[in-house]
């Protein structure tokens, strides 16, 4: 039995579908039972648990061959990452009690960075779970290709994608969520010892200019990338409702300055199979 948190999202869903297709039993760990209906119909067990509830998580993780930990993403964290720390404490306690055979935790590119930024939440999770006397693999994916969902309307209607990734000709490590789910499914079935790291990106790195060119090919109209000036970021994010924009800004700086990178570099990363064009086609069809 494999317990999957975050199953209603893209990565957790891709992992679950891969396991189910292979005939493996899946336990869907959800906050809202109403969102688990589709998975129950596919034969999944359903366990209700908030990610801050150690007792409910321990029950959901009990008697499993593997647990997939997908921490909730907090895009506007309070100083000190209090929200992430509450989840980390609960997940750690639950895993200690349930003692699954193996753990796969979704982490991130740059989790080893010492500079405080939005991704530090994953650094803290890695530090906590690495201390467990259980086999744990940290899957560190690159920038999600699905983040371009924010650009579909602008590309389609105005021929522009506004890029915080800069300069526009700098290749960025990216990956499709389908590849993350597929690799996670493989890892959660593998017997490993101790703490392990697997870093994942697409076969080729992609510049913002190349992303715009891909939009243009699909849409059949000119599309170009425009850099969002760095000095406008804080005011822009605050106008969108963010209370603490600095972690997000520093994350973007990390990609642009190069200190958010894979620990083993591009040569040492596992490569995915899904191309950007495939992901963008799906995103565009979804907003038609």
For residue 55, what is the domain's CATH number?
A: 3.40.50.720
In a domain, 167, yes or no: no
Q: How many domains does the chain have?
A: 1
Output the CA–CA distances (angstroms, integers) from residue 240 to 29, 51, 73, 237, in the order listed.
31, 26, 17, 5
Domain that holds residue 131: 2-144+174-203+263-273
Task: Give pLDDT, residue 288.
Answer: 64
In a domain, 281, yes or no: no
Task: Give pLDDT, residue 33.
Answer: 82
In a domain, 248, yes or no: no
In a domain, 227, yes or no: no
Distance of alpha carbon 90 from alpha carbon 31, whole angstroms: 14
In a domain, 102, yes or no: yes
- Quick one: which of 43, 45, 49 has its CA closest to 5? 49
Residue 42 neighbours by CB distance under 10 Å: 12
In a domain, 214, yes or no: no
In a domain, 180, yes or no: yes
In a domain, 97, yes or no: yes
Per-residue pLDDT of the chain (288 residues; tens, 9 = 90+): 999 999 999 999 999 999 999 999 999 999 988 888 889 999 999 999 999 999 999 999 999 999 999 999 899 999 999 999 999 999 999 999 999 999 999 999 999 999 999 999 999 999 999 999 999 999 999 999 999 999 999 999 999 999 999 999 999 999 999 999 999 999 999 999 999 999 999 999 999 999 999 999 999 999 999 999 999 999 999 999 999 999 999 999 999 999 999 999 999 999 999 999 999 999 999 886
């Amino acid at each position: 039995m494999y317990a999957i948190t975050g199953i209603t999202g893209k990565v957790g869903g891709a992992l679950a579908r891969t396991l189910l297709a292979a005939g493996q039993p899946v336990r869907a760990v959800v906050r809202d039972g109403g969102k688990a209906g589709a998975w129950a119909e596919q034969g999944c067990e359903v366990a209700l648990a908030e990610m801050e509830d150690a007792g409910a998580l321990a029950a959901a993780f009990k008697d499993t061959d593997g647990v997939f930990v997908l921490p909730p993403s907090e895009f506007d964290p309070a100083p000190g990452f209090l929200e992430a720390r509450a989840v980390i404490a609960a997940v750690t306690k639950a895993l200690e009690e349930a003692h699954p055979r193996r753990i796969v935790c979704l982490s991130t590119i740059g989790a080893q960075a010492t500079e405080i930024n939005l991704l530090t939440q994953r650094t803290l999770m890695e530090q906590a779970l690495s201390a467990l006397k259980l086999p744990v693999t940290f899957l560190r994916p690159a920038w999600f290709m699905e983040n371009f969902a924010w650009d579909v309307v602008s590309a389609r209607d105005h021929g522009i994608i506004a890029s915080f990734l800069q300069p526009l000709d700098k290749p960025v490590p990216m990956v499709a969520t389908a590849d993350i789910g597929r690799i996670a499914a493989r890892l959660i079935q593998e017997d490993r010892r101790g703490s392990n790291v697997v870093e994942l990106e697409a076969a080729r790195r992609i510049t913002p200019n190349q992303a715009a060119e891909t939009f243009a090919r699909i849409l059949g109209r000119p599309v170009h990338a425009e850099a969002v000036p760095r000095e406008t970021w804080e005011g822009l994010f605050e106008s969108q409702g963010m209370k603490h924009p600095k972690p997000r800004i520093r994350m973007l700086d990390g990609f642009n300055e190069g200190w958010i990178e894979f620990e083993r570099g591009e040569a040492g990363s596992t490569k995915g199979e899904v191309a950007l064009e495939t992901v963008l086609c799906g995103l565009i069809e979804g907003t038609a």
